[in-house]
Each structure stands twice: as structure tokens, then as C-alpha cells.
A and B are shown apart, each in its own frame.
Chain A
Amino acid sequence: MSLQKDVQRMLLEKPDPGRIARVLLLVLIKTFLTPGSSFGTRSEKRLSLVLYDHARKFFKGTAGLDRASGFHRAPGFHRDGRSVFTSLFAPTELVYAFDFLPFSLEILAAVAASMELTPELLSRAEHNWLSTDFCSFHRAYMELVTAGMLPKPSFLLATSHTCDGTFKSFSHVSAHIRSPFLLIDTPYHNDGEAVRYLAGQLAEAAAQIEEITKTVLKKEKLERAFHFSNQARAALMEINELKKSPLPLMYGEESLAFVLISGNLMGSASGVTLFESYRKELGERLRKGYNGIEGKKRILWLHLKPFFPSTLMRYLERELKAVVVAEEINSVYWDELDMNDPWTSLARKLLSNYWVGNIEKRLKYIRRTIEEYRIDGVIHFSHWGCRQSNGGVRLIKDTVQEYGIPFLNLDGDCVDPRNYSEGQYVTRLEGFMEIMG
């Protein structure tokens, strides 16, 4: 969603979280009034509305009465913010259980990119000693924070996976704004001891949150958050099942945005409503024999996509008709959460993530998906600076080529539009199409 230049300027020159909240209200209204036909699916419009509303509340710093989630303000609740900065794979269920509002800083960077704010943000970050070799997600949100554009959160909650950069940037941000940082260190292995260790950390984090927020974690709230998370998970699994259909039901460009839901809304009612909305809509499309998307080739997409306005995905899917039917980031890699042993259950979820530990999990996912989705080609988007993902490209390539299908490594950046030109994408994508035949 592109904003007018004067709004952008206002956001960048006079940063004030409250003001940003008001701007987001305008964005919300604009999105609401935009006809549904401008979006890929009806659900996409809904996703945009929910996301902007979530952001608006976040910037105001209070959760307020969130009708969608059903979480009421606790009586005697003071006006200190209820915002929590989280990392992309942090257990947001825990945050929702405290009636707090999480927002993944990586997603904030993606939203800033979609609003075309990142060229300015990143060039400022460079002035502040941040090397351009460092992932632009981290740089963008570090700048957002240090420029005073975000509300002061009650605390920050991050897991050590995705990557080293998460820990470094959260550490830096927390020191800057003087807000406590709770780090969950995800071990490499997942034997019994590792699970116990991680579960212990989660329990400890809950205790620390109780201390910071001066509240007690109520079992029924955690249960509710788990329930919502499990429902959202079930809906996402069904969506993934539906996407196996011979005719593509939606574009990958749109489904890659699911990360906005799974990153921010797991444990809330809106997360459930959104995934169920998509499930229903895709189910309808399947039943009615939807053929609105002409796909010549079926693609598996690894990692993320550019979040700034870019023609890459459109060119791939609509021009070249190579449709992304499966995305790694949307895979349901974890089992249902279990209230009988909540911390162990959450720990197992974290440890099952493909980006944790050995790359073998990721390779297994790739093999399974190539077979189940009848994939014609695999694309890995190598986001600049993402060493944990890009470092695996060789092994991923070898795995894909076991199936005799082509693999394309696409160098790019999800958040920084300054270094990449469309022309370079076009040739590589066309070359890839030429190989697929």
C-alpha cells in the first residue's frame, strides 16, 4: 500500500507513535473503501484491514477493547502501553495470554517497506554505523526504534532463531529504549534435554513477564490463546491441502503475506478468523472449479519475497505463468499445542521450525513438497544478509536436483529496494522458465 509523499515525509520527519496511529487509521479507512476486486481474494482485503488495525492499536500502545480477540482490558489497568516487540518466531500465544499486543519487528520492517519508507530509513541507519552487510529487516527496525517512531513497549520477546541478527538487534534496541528484553535461546538439538531446557526457559519467561506486568498468568487465558493458535493452525493446514489442487487457487504473492498472520496473530481470535476466511474462500473456489489463474508451471518458493512495491512476483506468476503453489514460510511444521504440558508443547513447536538446528528438516520439507505438490521448479529468494538461509543454498540445490527439476537462486532484498533492478530479475526468471521448458 503506497502512501502519498507528504504522508511519508510526515512520518519520517516528525516521528510520533500516536500520530502514526492516526495515519494508520486513515490507511485503514482507505483500505476499507477500496473495492474488493482490487485484491486477489476477498480475504486479502480483510487481512490488510486486520493488519493495519493491529498496527494502529500497537502504535497507540494500548490493546484497548479488542472485540475481535475478546480480550478485555483488565480492571484497574493503567495507561502504560501493552505493546510488546516480538521476533518473527516468538511464542505470541504467551503474549496474548497476558492480554498484551505483540508485533513482530520484522513485520514492522516489512510494513515500512510496503509504505516505501525503507530507502530513507536504511540510509539513516548507515549513518549510524550500521554496516550494509547486516540484514535490512534488522537495520530498518533498529532505525524505526532509534528514531522514536515506535511506542515504548512493555518488554521485548525474541527467540534466538531466526538468526544471530535477531538477538543482536533486539539487544541493541532494548538497550536504547530501556525496555526489558526476554531472550529465548533455541537449542540446536531437540533431544529430551533440549526440550526440557527450552520449556524451562519458556516457563521462566512467563514468570518474568508476570513480574514486569505485575500480573499473574491465568491458566484459562493461556488455554484460550492455545485454543486460538490450534484453530488457526488447523485452518492453515487445510489451506495448504487445498493448494495442492491441479488448478492454482491463489497467487503465491498473496499467500506469502500469510507470514503477517502467523508472525503476529497466533493466539488471537483474529488469527483464526483470517485463516478460516481464506480456507472458506479457497474451498469455495475449488468447489466451483475456479480457473481464474492460468498456471503453466508450479513453483515452490523458499524464504520470503520483496515487501516493497515490486513487479517480481507479478512478472513470475502472471506474465510467465509460473505460479507459486507452495511456500516454505507457510508450512505447518509443528504439532497442536497441548495445555497438559504447555511449556513443553510450545518448546516442541519452536524446535520443529525448519530454520532451527540442522538443515535436514528443511530439506525433508522440500522433498515432501516437491512430491505432494507436483512441483516443476524451486526458487530460493536469497535475501541479502540472511546467512542462515543463504548458507544452505548449495544443499537445497542438490536436494532439488535429485528430482531432476531446476532450482533458481534469486539474489534480492525483502526490504531494501535500492540495489536491485527489475531487469536483472526478468532475465533470470526467463532463463529459469526456459530450463523448465
Chain B
Amino acid sequence: MHSIQDKLTEFFTIYRPDTQKRRVGFLCPYTVEEIIDAAGFVPFRIIPEQSSFDRADAYLPTNICSFLRQVVEMGVGEALKELDCIVINHSCDAARRVFELLDRHVSTRIYFQDIPRCDDSASRTYFRHILAGFRSFLEDIARTQITDEKLLRSIKRYNENRRLLRELYTLRAAHPDLVDSTLMQRVIENNGRNPKSMYNRLLASLIGELKERGQELKEAKTGIRIYVSGGLIDPLPLLGFIENAGGLIVGDDFCFGGRYFAVEVDEGNDPLSALSRRYLEKIPCGRMERATERFTYIINEIKQYNATALIYVGLKFCDNFLVDYPQLKMMLDQEGIPSLFLESEYSPLGRGQLETRIEGFLEKLG
């Protein structure tokens, strides 16, 4: 019997994506991927994998998050050359500065997409205007019109993707040992780097496979059910540590995890307005005016998935996420949900502090 990882590898071979398509790099889930998809490009998540910042140091001070510093490192080191274009959102102050640096020092075309912080009708109108600008920009590069029909088709593909991910997440909550963090990370990372038309088929097959295996499982593995909250966490060994210490990850609200798929786009007329609405309406990140609303979402998820505790992780120097914790903690305390606060670099290294804290926390709970 193949392991599920092997099965996933098999699926990647079967559903091989069309590598001819041009790629548009992006960093943040507020980038409206549907427009990129409708232009015939593949939205490609930039997931830095280095841990040195020698070149980035020439451009950025040290007290900027390690994720963005690595993006700059990649940019000036010509590692992003193969992308047709890069989209940077107004995710934070540092992102704004990174855009200006890359714009001047990197040969790849870079586009800045502003995002309103608020979610009211004026903001939606304004955001629609911004998206219209984004569409024009992509039409220029793609040398093709991005019609409403094309947009609607992309929206449908993306909504399907969201539904499939939600199903996967529900499966995980039921069988966190089967759908473990290694598998989920792999699925999520690749979800950000492949065209949805192909990836949806892969996800459907994977879910089918998992359901079968899930039925065959005699009993669920025991462990402490943990909900993890944070932003960008791809290289962090965090989730593996939690599982090694006896935790079971039953849910998350990561930028490209739980908060990525939670809300769908309306499939009616005027897709640009629908997109504007959905992206402002979705479960917000720390930067948005509605930032603290996501706490209610988190607590509901914790209850729904029967999690025992929450682990919150913020990147060092990421104000948008770090400053939220005190308020979240207050709400969690009121609900009697224990929590652990971790600060980390965007790196697979530096195990010591994370591991010890996680082990200590789980020991206390167990």
C-alpha cells in the first residue's frame, strides 16, 4: 500500500501542469489571482527558501521581517528572473518599501496592488477601480483582452478550488493523523504554484483517496488537538514540532491556509465587483480594519473542530500580526482556551526555541 505521500507524488505525475504558461509571482492572498488566471498566466506564489541575507542587507535594514528580506535577496540575486511579472500588495509598510526597491533594482516587471483597509461600499467601489487598473496592466502584458467571460470562468475555477480545500480541511479535522502537516503543507504550497484547472483535478483525486483511507482507519490517533493561527509560515518546522510533541493539527487560519479559501466569490454579473467584494469581505488579516473579527472566526473554528488549545505564531518584526495577540489572548482566556505565543523567523532553521516552547506547552496540556 502506497503511503499517501507517494500517492500524491503519483497524482502530480498524472496531472502534470502545462509548463508553457507564463508565470506571475505574488506574495499575499489579497492578490486577486482570478484576474491573473483570466489573463492566461499562472499565479505563482513566491516561497523563499534561503536563510542568508547578505545581499538584502544592502537594501533593507535588519528590522524588517525575514520573509520580505528573503524576497529582496531573491530579487537582487536574480532568482526571480523567470517570472514574467511580480505583484506586490500593500500588505504592510515594509512591503511598500520592498516594492520600491525591487522596482528600481530588479529587471523583472513589478506591479503594486493597493488594498483598502476598510470594507464598506465606498471601499469596494475604490477597490474595483484598482482591480480595473490591474486588469489593464495584465492585458498589456498578455496582449489579450480579459473579458468578463474569462473572469467568470476563472472565478468558477477558484471557487471550486476553495470548496475542495474546505473539504480537505474538514477531512483533516476528522483525521489529523492521516492528513498530517507534511501532507497539508505540500498540498498548500503546490496549490499556490499550479493552474487551478489542473490542480482542482488533483485535489479531487486526493480527497477521494483520503476518504477511502479514512474509512479504513480503525481508530483515530490520540493526541492533543491544536489549532494554529498566524500568517505566512511555510518553511517553519513549527507544525512538525507540534505533531512530534503529541499534538494533532486540526485547523489553521494561515494566509494561504484557512483564510485563503473561507469565502467564495459571487458568480453573478460584473465579476470585477464580485471580486472586489469578496477580497475585502474575506476573513481579514492583521492589516485590515476588521482584523479582530478573525478572532471570532478562530474561536468558532476551535469549537467546531474540537481543538483543545491554540498556538499563535507571528514573524519577528511583523507588527500586523504580533500586536494582535494580546487582544486574542483576552478572548481566548474568556473562553477558557489555553494559548501559546511564538515569535519566529521565516526559516526552517533555528529549531531550539520553537521546539522547547511547544513541548513545554503540550506537556502542560497533556
Contacts and interface: CB of A to CB of B under 8 A. Distances in A.
Contact between chain A and chain B defined by CB under 8 Å = yes
A393 B64 CA distance: 12
A414 to B, nearest CB: 15
Interface stretch (B13-21, B93-101, B146-154): B93-101
**Among B100, B104, B341, residue most surrounded by chain A Cβ atoms (within 10 Å):** B100
Interface string A163-190: 1110111011001000000010101110
Interface stretch (A76-84, A89-97, A125-133): A125-133
A134 B61 contact: no
B122 A200 contact: yes
A69 interface: no
5 contacts: A133-B316, A164-B287, A168-B319, A175-B292, A200-B122
Interface of A: 128-131, 133-135, 138, 160, 163-165, 167-169, 171-172, 175, 183, 185, 187-189, 193-194, 197, 200-201, 204, 358-359, 382, 384-385, 387-388, 390-395
Interface in B78-127: 90, 92-94, 96-98, 100-101, 104, 112, 114, 116-118, 122-123, 125-126
Contacts of B123: 185, 197
A134 B100 contact: no
B162 to A, nearest CB: 27
Interface residues of B, number: 45
A394 B327 CA distance: 35
B325 A387 contact: no
B188 interface: no
Given A129-B341, A197-B122, A382-B61, A387 B326 contact: no
Interface of B: 58-61, 63-64, 90, 92-94, 96-98, 100-101, 104, 112, 114, 116-118, 122-123, 125-126, 129-130, 286-287, 289, 291-292, 316-317, 319-320, 322-327, 329, 341, 343
Contacts of B118: 183, 185, 201
Given A129-B326, A130-B323, A168-B324, A358 B100 contact: yes
Contacts of B291: 168, 171
A189 B286 CA distance: 22
Given A185-B117, A185-B118, A387-B97, A394 B63 contact: no
Given A168-B320, A391-B98, A193 B117 contact: no
A395 B116 contact: no
B326 A130 contact: yes
Contact of A164 (B59, B61, B63, B319): B319
Given A185-B289, A187-B114, A384 B341 contact: no
A193 B126 CA distance: 7
B2 to A, nearest CB: 45
B38 to A, nearest CB: 22
B329 A164 contact: no
B104 A395 contact: yes
B98 to A, nearest CB: 7
A126 to B, nearest CB: 12
B64 A387 contact: yes
A172 B327 contact: yes
Contacts of B324: 168
- Smallest CB-CB A-B distances: 5 pairs: A391-B97, A388-B93, A188-B114, A197-B126, A168-B323
A169 B98 CA distance: 23
A393 B291 CA distance: 30
B317 A133 contact: yes
B117 A204 contact: no
A393 B326 CA distance: 31
Contacts of A168: 286, 291, 319-320, 323-324
A204 B100 CA distance: 32
Nearest to A200: B122
A185 B116 contact: yes
B66 to A, nearest CB: 12
A168 B93 CA distance: 13
B316 to A, nearest CB: 6
A168 B314 CA distance: 15
A395 B93 CA distance: 15
A204 B60 contact: no
A129 B314 CA distance: 13
Given A168-B324, A189-B114, A193-B129, A388 B96 contact: yes
Given A133-B322, A390-B61, A395-B101, A183 B117 contact: yes
Contact of B116 (A134, A167, A187): A187
B167 to A, nearest CB: 34
Given A163-B93, A165-B319, A188-B90, A393 B61 contact: yes
Given A164-B92, A171-B292, A185-B289, A131 B61 contact: no
A202 B59 CA distance: 36
A10 to B, nearest CB: 27
A188 B97 CA distance: 12
Given A129-B329, A168-B286, A359-B97, A204 B122 contact: yes
